[in-house]
Chain A
Amino acid sequence: MIQKQRKISMGFSDEKLLEGQHIIYLYNDDRERKKTMASFLQQGLLENEKLLYLVDDISPEEMQKELSLLGVDVQRVNNCFDITAGHYACCPDHYFTAEFMLKTVGEFYEQAIQNGFTGARGAGEMSWALVEGRATVEELLNYEAQLNHILQRHPLTTVCQYDARRFDGALIMDLLSVHPMMIVRGQLVKNPSYVKPEIFLQEYRERQQRSSRLDH
């Protein structure tokens, strides 16, 4: 089901953008990040959107309290706000697959519309992916690249939060390549490094092959 895309406010930025933006948020300041995300989610509530927050650093209950303290009216409407552990939502079988996750994103958005919400927005802390054996870099990059296509059909406005203190610099550069928008110091900017998903994935695979040859 394709609807006419709305222009929405991100809450932390003045300009209005089309819903379904795929945003990367590189951060190394938790206070700033939570404040930015609180504005993003609170704006979603104001725009009658279904919210999804995948937490990782702290428990869902603790995040709910923190967001509440930061002004998010988490109790405003029943069932409008899902706060879940990231690894639980993304890796139900203890292993991350892009396919499952992409399907979940689409379903979440469609269900929100069916439940009368005007749209949906989600924010996810991605550090769960650093746990050994949970996800491969390739699968993660594949998901992030493919998500751009999914969001065109199911415009779930998405903020992927990557902790710059914990993720490898090279991977960060690759992740930047698959997010059209990015948040820099609380400001939303267009990502100049963004590469179309197919091109990125092709280049990535070629690079991997070169690297593999060199290793041998």
Chain B
Amino acid sequence: MNNVPDFQTLHKVILIQSTIHLLQDKKSLIRFVCRGFSELPWLSSVGLFLQGEYVSEGSPASPGRDDSQNLFDALANSSHLKKEQDAELTAFEERHGLKCIKAATSFEVYGFLLVRPSDEKRFQEFRPYLENTMNLIALRAENEEQNKIIRRHQEDLESLIAERTRALKESEQKYRTLFHSIRDALLVADLQRTIISCNQAFTDLFGYSLEEIQGCRTEILYADSSQFPRLGKRLQDKAYDPNLFITIDYKKKSGEAFPGETNIFGFVDAEGCEIGYIGLIRDISVQLKAEQERVRYEQLLRQAQKMEAIGTLAGGIAHDFNNILASVIGYTELAMCDAQKKSLLYENLNEVLTAGNRARDLIRQILAISRHEDQSKQVVPINPLIKEALKMLRSTVPTSIEFKEDIDGKTFNVQADPTQIHQVMVNLVTNAMQAMDSHEGTIEVCLDAYCFEDWIKQKALHLTPGEYVRLSVSDTGSGIAEDQIDKIFEPYYTTKEKGAGTGLGLAVVHGIVKSHGGLITVYSEEGKGSTFHVYLPLAQNQTLKQTAAESEEPLPTGTEHILLIDDELPIVKMQQQSLERLGYVVTAKTRSREALETFRSSPDKFNLVITDMTMPEMTGDKLAAAVKAINSEVAVILCTGFSEQIEAHKENIVLDGYLMKPVDKTRMATTVRKVLDSYSQGPVPGS
């Protein structure tokens, strides 16, 4: 018995063992081991089965692949019960007359070595080395399996990472797109308020590039540097409501300041800890300006509404007062006709008439405020009217006050009552002059075209759309206190000493301007002066009329039969007397229905019907219509204290003329004669 190991063989086995790790391909490994073992002198044949692969060398041949596969399946199915596996192996060894060495780890059987020893003793001597080699192969196989699992996991992980990375990129791209598509400036800062990022709207608004602003503190953005610590304290104290917007004055890179509506909210990390702030800033300078404009126009509207109310009140009073005045003036005139000229009675009556006329002028001014006065509007160029007024005013204004005018440019035509425009100028210049207490300074008058910014403003102020002429009267006087500005157009409002002014000047201007479809505004700075802007709509495609001075002529007379109706007995009696004195035959009535019946009974008897407008039972316009229906050949004159009533009914009734109360005898005589004369050539609508 030779116990000395065969070192050459031993080294060869060790060489095989040490080379196994280099052979990665399973089949190559099997062939390597099989070839190596087959060269061992005491083995006549070798077969190696490993994970489905099988190779054999030498003779007699080892069992075939199928038998080997069956053995492998049996070993694998016997699970990890060594006893069962050993039984399977022993059975196989006996069946095929060979030796079988498992390639197995504690967990798994991977294959086996099948050998036919030609020298049993040598085989048994080296069996531990062969078993060791098979263990190494099993470990390698197990390692390979584990590596496969690790590789699969790694691939899954890499695939997951790739998927997540792609999703993250997509998410980031979405975020970036969203971030930059927000139209408000968006700023991201850390807790120290150092700027981390901003969107495109921010760079557009503030003028800084991202590179310029990154790393800067938000302090750089505030117009008022004290805003930074103030806001910082609020943020620190959490004294801000993320749902609320605050307005902060910001400063652009150019230095331009602007108000920004700001919403600040904190942003948190994955653990919910606040790590910074996000600020949303919207430039609201345009909105603020619009809001200021809106407030200004609302004030103007309120003022206009107040003036409207005052005008309505004044108009109502004036109407009643007109009726009284009509009697006073009318009867005085009648009385004067009967009195001896230059007698004390005549002179006294003349004083009454003068006072009555002054009262009538006053009423007209009040009606002008309320737009209830009769107006003789016509298309006229406003430039010469203003120039003429200034020429007259120049002589009344102290020479220490300088006059500047800019009215010779483009000619502006307006639909206006020249007398009233004259009045507007007188009142505004007088007001300007009185504003300069020291009687030193400058009054500047100019005319220019003006177009309101948009239709909405025009609508809000009840202005007719279109182009306007702007008359501006500026002074360098004391100006108007801010709290007084709203009141200056109110009647009887004055800052002057008692007796120095009536308080009606600007109210009259306001009324006239409004009656012309215009607007008056004032801009004033206390201590610096005021500017009144009067906006009048430009006349479109209307024929210019020349103002004709009324001439003094003897009162026209006539003999026609006139039906006179007024519910005020004193007035009807006075007018009857006046008309009869002019030679006319007058049938006077105080009730409209009775008057209509009278006319109906003898329609051909009358040449003219003069009717009051406001009457019980039947108003003047209805009576006129009824008369015309009975006999269209009869002329009708409507008499009223409200020109608006006539304007309102002008299109519905065929009027031949109208008279504004209080009617003086001259106007009565001329209007009556004019209407009757026109009827001798056929009826003429309107007057």
Contacts and interface: CB of A to CB of B under 8 A. Distances in A.
Interface string A28-58: 1000000000000000000000000000000
Contacts of A177: 39
B24 A164 contact: yes
Contact of B22 (A28, A170, A193): A28
Contacts of B61: 214
B52 interface: no
A193 B28 contact: no
A136 interface: no
Interface string B27-45: 1111111111001000000
Interface residues of B, number: 24
B252 interface: no
Contact of B35 (A164, A167, A170): A170
Interface string A4-29: 00000000000000000000001110
Interface stretch (B8-16, B313-321, B548-556): B8-16
B31 A169 contact: yes
Given A165-B24, A192-B14, A193-B12, A170 B32 contact: yes
Given A169-B33, A173-B39, A210-B59, A164 B14 contact: no
A172 B24 contact: no
A176 B15 CA distance: 10
B347 to A, nearest CB: 136
Contact of B24 (A28, A168, A210): A28
Contacts of B30: 169
A28 B15 CA distance: 16
Given A170-B32, A173-B36, A173-B39, A192 B25 contact: no
Contact of B34 (A27, A170, A210): A170
A191 interface: yes
B442 to A, nearest CB: 94
Given A169-B31, A172-B32, A26 B8 contact: no
A208 to B, nearest CB: 12
Contacts of A28: 22-24
Interface string A177-191: 100001010000001
A168 B28 contact: yes
Contact of A174 (B15, B27, B35): B35
Contact of B31 (A26, A170, A182, A184): A170
A51 to B, nearest CB: 26
Contact of B15 (A165, A168, A192): A192
Contact of B8 (A27, A170, A182, A192): A192
A184 B22 CA distance: 10
B292 interface: no
B18 interface: yes
Nearest to A28: B22
A52 to B, nearest CB: 25
B6 to A, nearest CB: 11
8 contacts: A26-B19, A27-B22, A169-B30, A169-B32, A170-B32, A173-B32, A182-B15, A191-B15
Interface of A: 26-28, 164-165, 167-170, 172-174, 176-177, 182, 184, 191-193, 210, 214
Interface of B: 8, 11-12, 14-15, 18-19, 22-25, 27-36, 39, 59, 61
